[in-house]
Amino acid sequence: MADIINLLPDNIANQIAAGEVIQRPASAVKELLENAVDAGATEIQLIIKDAGKELVQVIDNGGGMSETDARMCFERHATSKIKSIEDLFQITTMGFRGEALASIAAVSQVELKTRKKGTDIGTYVEIDNSFVKKQEPCQTAEGTSIAMKNLFFNVPARRNFLKSNTAEMRHIVDEFIRVAMAFPQLQFSLTSNNQQIFYLEKGSLKQRIVAILGQHYNAKLVSVKETTDYMNVYGFVGKPETAKKTRGDQFFFVNNRFIKSSYLNHAVMNAFADIIPTDSFPLYVLFIDVNPEHVDINVHPTKQEIKFDDEKLMYAFIQSAVKHSLAQFSVTATLDFDLDPNIQALDAVSKPFTAEQQRESTNSPLYKSFTQANQAHMIDKSSSSSNLKHWKDLYESASSNNESYVTISPVIPDDDDDEDDNTQTTQPQATASVIDERWQDTANDQKVPVQVHQQYILSQIKSGFILIDQQAAHERILYERYQRALQEMPISTQQSLFPQTLQLPPADAAIINEMLPDLQTLGYDLEPFGNNTFVVRGTPADIRNGNDQATIENLLEQFKHFSAELKVNRREQLIRSMARNNAIPAGKILSAREMQNIIDELFACSMPNVAPGGKFTFISFKLTDLARMFERGN
């Protein structure tokens, strides 16, 4: 019987192994940048064409390689970092497995130019599908230049699974930022299609954070620094106002290696628990220095998932360090009281407490009874009769005339309320009977909806009543409106009197560029202005007026949230984001007409019962259910 098990050819084995390491152009960017850092470079250039599908090139001024090393580096498991099993637990470099270049060479066409410091001649190596096509001496600068061309040219099926250029470019920018953030003492640049996106000078960690995330963070960072015998933690966290609805600006580095850890992220979230909303995520860039013996980084091909020998200790230390920094810089939760202007205008508040008034107060019997020892329980008999007489007169007058009571009643909106009046005023009523009349009128008029806790709308129907979530309902209404706009008629634009300039991080600018045609259909008038800047000339006419820049930034946050949570196309993500961003929020007071409009438009939708994300928009209560609950049938 013939044998059926054979060894795979090297090029096929390399392609299979490459599938674990090189999943997209961004994977190659990460490996090549880390190799440049390990080579001791102080200046690193990343050049991209066609979102990395045509070219990914990294040029560094590091130590370079000899002729033999230039050839050996493309062999699988060829590495200068590990010589014995003990070295595996003392790793301080970014790479160590010797798989990156072999994997890149297996799925692309590679050109390498390198010259070792102190030598006059460099080496040129050309590799195609793991086979060396050319190796010869060449003239080149000290350091290494490696170019990966035509990714997955020999695996067309895998190339077809790559996303759009904008999506792939976003992943490349993410990997670039993670490496550049970890090494602020190095100079980095990123050029895409001959346009420079980043040029990061050498500097401090704070300067690097501000250069990458934006100048508006310069005054909104809180320093974190704690040192122990076991580990050190340093970096920055954002003040509460920098918290966003997405996780974008969150970075953990262990021994300068970017990692993903939901466990450690939870520690930071707990430190911010009482300062930011529960659905928001704080900004942080935190570095953890720990002995490599306490860390296992060899648990995932990308090395972004690691394990600690004592995770509970790490959790407690990070949470404590962040809390201590927030307290040290007085970043604590504050209470915001809206004072009544009528109260602020009173003499007791607005006018100074004169010396004469102070003397009168301190000489009064009441003041003395509380300031003299053992006198708090005493009553001055000489003045008690005269003082108490006024209280008795007030009590008797109130008892004799019930109408003198001041009663606060809830305001029930009428149908003729101004639809633009979004504020609720509370006025004293002369008698309690007025309250009964208002509620009785509302009960008789079944068409008047009632707002409950400024979040739900209660509306009576023939079989009972329904309770509508105002935010979810409006989100469904807007979602279907935007859906029709993309299919039929564009939404009109309200032009801004003073156009605003919007400066975005490169990753967000890439998202906006990708969505520009759809945004214009949905009513946004945006124009690229170069260098990740856009001019906002108008917004959809049917949304609330306000800060155009804040509106678009919020839209971007919602879009990134849906991109992470949903596996739907870009247009679907966009209209869901716009619906969520522009929907009436919980806590907004609505007039009767506004509530009725929401009810009418909701039930005119094709799917009125759920919001785009699947949340129920309303719950119905039948009279039979109410009778059963109140046991009316017994």
pLDDT digits (tens, 9 = 90+) for 440-452: 444 445 568 999 9
Q: What is the pLDDT of residue 156?
A: 83
Q: Which domains does the chain have, with CATH numbers?
A: 10-200 (3.30.565.10), 205-328 (3.30.230.10), 341-400 (no CATH), 468-618 (3.30.1370.100)
CB 144 within 8 A of CB 39: yes
Q: What is the pTM of this model?
A: 0.64
In this predicted model, which residue has the larger pLDDT, 328 or 208? 208
- Range picked from 52-61, 395-404, 577-586, 603-612 for highest mean pLDDT: 52-61
Q: DSSP assignment of 425-468, as one string?
A: ---EES-HHHHHHHHHHHHH-TT--EEETTTEEEEEETTEEEEE
- Tell me the pLDDT band of 429, cut-offs 50, 70 and 90: very low
pLDDT in tens, 508-559: 787 788 778 888 888 888 888 877 788 888 888 766 655 566 677 777 776 7
Q: What's the average model confidence in pLDDT over 129-140?
A: 90
CA dihedral sign of residues 317, 321, 323, 327:
positive
Q: What's the average model confidence in pLDDT over 104-112?
A: 90
CB 598 within 8 A of CB 469: no
The mean pLDDT value of the chain amounts to 77
Q: What is the pLDDT of residue 304?
A: 63
For residues 192 and 510, give the distance between their C-alpha atoms in angstroms, rounded to a whole number: 11
In this predicted model, which residue has the larger pLDDT, 493 or 449? 449
In a 13 Å sphere around the CA of 384, the CA atoms on its Cβ side amount to 5
Q: What is the pLDDT of residue 419?
A: 42
Q: What is the pLDDT of residue 473?
A: 93
In this predicted model, which residue has the larger pLDDT, 142 or 295? 142
- Tell me the pLDDT band of 421, cut-offs 50, 70 and 90: very low
Task: Specify the range with the lowest mean pLDDT, choosing from 171-175, 269-273, 565-569, 615-619.
Answer: 565-569
In this predicted model, which residue has the larger pLDDT, 301 or 282? 282
For residues 166 and 236, give the distance between their C-alpha atoms in angstroms, rounded to a whole number: 30
- pLDDT value at 333 more than 90: no
